[in-house]
Amino acid sequence: MTVIDIPGSKSVTARALFLAAAADGTSTLLRPLASDDTEGFLEGLGTLGYEVERTAGAWRVTGRPAGPGAATADVYCRDGATTGRFLPALAAAGHGDFRFDASPQLRRRPLGPLTDALRTLGVDLRHEEAEGHHPLRIAASGIKGGALTLDAGQSSQFLTALLLLGPLTAEGLRITVTDLVSEPYVEITLAMMRSFGAEPTREGNVFTVPPTGYRATTYAIEPDASTASYFFAAAALTGREVTVPGLGTGALQGDLRFVDVLRRMGAHVDMTADRTTVRGTGRLTGLTVNMRDISDTMPTLAALAPFAEGPVRIEDVANTRVKECDRLDACAENLRRLGVTATTGPDRLEILPGTPGPAEIRTHGDHRMVMSFAVTGLRTPGITFDDPGCVRKTFPGFHEAFARFRDGA
């Protein structure tokens, strides 16, 4: 059995940084993820005037309930979607003039549903170039609050940003959601808000957030379930056994449900309160699976699919077309480069059994292309990547950790 220590969750770290920055007092975040995305978030907080003290395994954030300490700021969000969506909401609750820009990759990703909602709440906001995309400017003067309707069908991060904002408004928020993807990420948000003293509630598609503010706390970041998926898939493929401590039945992250997909394909899965173990059984069956709620693990399954005994059909993942790249087309493109038959539709990907051959994977700068097709490489010598270093976005040490698994260390 191989025990893999997975670094902290990117999603949880980003939410914890927002909550700590908004809280009254100094919060300590334990085992946060250190990666390009979270470094960008920290840099953005610093530019906005928040104080962060970093030590090994712990970050201390001094909160500012009244908003950013800087009166003006120009924030560069790098490639980080959470940075580019959460920090404008945080800044909008304060007072000052703030500009946000991002990498060409993040500039392409949608922002409009969030910025339209902020405008509905009275925020003075304008996009400098393409409407609904970075760069943008905010002339912040606090937010009264109120009711709004939101389409979160492209990204649950739009809803999360508004939920996180709610306790900082004068009167609270009432958000009616007309469409929602990746719903488990919203449940993470609600649970974490409560850990910092907020009192959000949900009734069906209506979310109510009172203006409670936040209280500082000590918060432990759990391992990243999306990152764990590559090692679980590797175990299922190779017939070996992998245990990830810190992720079990009590985990917040919905992407841990990926192990249920592996179980359906024939892997043995054992979960306790604080760890998950996957063991390959030497056989993988095909299946049809709806991955709407765990779409970040769609590329992991796509990379594993050629080794199944029957077709693998992944459905209801249209939102993966507006991630770091169009992941549906990118997965199909790379599978074809490996000699595997793959077809796509507007929201689906179907992969037929095959024997992948050596090829260079086109990553499109997307960390998940590299980490997913590293799984394929366990059974396919000669796979290389045009940009292997893009894993720094979420797991800078991925190649070393995966090599230790491959070598049986």
pLDDT in tens, the chain (409 residues): 899 999 999 999 999 999 999 999 999 999 999 999 999 999 999 999 999 999 989 999 999 999 999 999 999 999 999 999 999 999 999 999 999 999 999 999 999 999 999 999 999 999 999 999 999 999 999 999 999 999 999 999 999 999 999 999 999 999 999 999 999 999 999 999 999 999 999 999 999 999 999 999 999 999 999 999 999 999 999 999 999 999 999 999 999 999 999 999 999 999 999 999 999 999 999 999 999 999 999 999 999 999 999 999 999 999 999 999 999 999 999 999 999 999 999 999 999 999 999 999 999 999 999 999 999 999 999 999 999 999 999 999 999 999 999 988 5
CA separation for the pair 308, 286 (Å, rounded): 5
Domain with CATH 3.65.10.10 in the chain: 10-208, 225-406
Question: Would you call 24 a catalytic residue per the annotation?
Answer: no
Active-site choice (255, 296, 366, 407): 296
Residue whose C-alpha is closest to residue 155's, from 116, 193, 185:
185
Question: Among 3.30.360.10, 3.65.10.10, 3.40.50.2000, 3.10.20.440, what is the CATH number of 10-208?
Answer: 3.65.10.10
Sign of the C-alpha dihedral computed for residues 400, 402, 406 and 407 taken in this order: positive
pLDDT at residue 1, as a whole number: 81
Domain 225-406 class?
Answer: alpha beta
Residue whose C-alpha is closest to residue 12's, from 27, 31, 26:
31
Residue whose C-alpha is closest to residue 81's, from 106, 114, 117:
106
In order, the DSSP letters of 210-265 are -S---B--EEEPPB-HHHHHHHHHHHHHHT-EEEEET-STT---GGGGHHHHHHHH
Q: Strand, coil or helix: what is 118?
A: helix
Q: Strand, coil or helix: what is 248?
A: coil
In the numeric block, the tokens 């488990």 are attached to 184
Q: Which residues contact 137 (CB under 8 A, 6 or more apart)?
A: 97, 98, 99, 100, 125, 126, 128
- Residue 203: alpha-carbon gap to chain centroid: 25
